[in-house]
Amino acid sequence: SAPNSHFMTRAAQFGRGSFTYINDQNQVQQGMDTLFRRLESPLRRNLQVQLPNGIVAERWPQKLPDLYAGEPLLVAMKLSAPTEHITVSGYDTQHWQQPVTLPTDSNHPGTASLWARRKIADLMDRITLGAPETDIAPLITDVALRHQLVSRYTSFIAVEETVSRPAHEPLLHDTVRNQAPHG
């Protein structure tokens, strides 16, 4: 009960693998069968992204996962210059490559946020792998502040400017039930 999907996702990313979220004991067999079928036959392995000459990317994840049926390949990149084309390559039984056309006319604000979240996650992984927190914390803080994200080292402060309760009325309080894991 109460599986830790964040941990499972990160563990799968570290191992270039996949995971299946199972929160019902009646679904264990079906979920495990699906997971093992997927892991036994990735569609593509050792994926790489090739950029046009002269274009440099800071991308997350840096180590691309294998590609499994039913799972997308999602790579967040900050490019040194716009480009319309990249190539994704890898292996199945032989070398494989696929040109990809990128839309250059749309720069959605969520894209920068996704890239920054991925970079922060990678930097946090470096701490987990033994990098000194004193070296990594300023990097995380810089990215989080630039992209207005909450991190281990940053937070938001809300300032209420509209009075929503007259000062003479008492505060109300109540217990909010929270679902706890079984046992």
pLDDT, greater one: 128 or 37: 128
From the list 18, 19, 25, 21, the residue with the least C-alpha distance to 1 is 25
Residues 46 and 42: their CA atoms lie apart, in Å, by 10
Q: What is the pLDDT of residues 133-165, one digit of tens each?
A: 999 999 999 999 999 999 999 998 888 888 788
Residues 111 and 39: their CA atoms lie apart, in Å, by 29
Residues 85 and 70: their CA atoms lie apart, in Å, by 24
**Is 12 a residue whose pLDDT tops 90?**
no
pTM metric for this prediction = 0.68
Helix (H) or strand (E) holding 110: helix 109-128
Q: What is the pLDDT of residues 87-124, one digit of tens each?
A: 999 998 899 999 999 887 667 778 889 999 999 998 99
**What pairs with residue 50 in β-bridges?**
87
Residue 1 has what pLDDT? 64
Phi, psi for 140 (deg, rounded to 5): -65, -45
Residue 95 has what pLDDT? 93
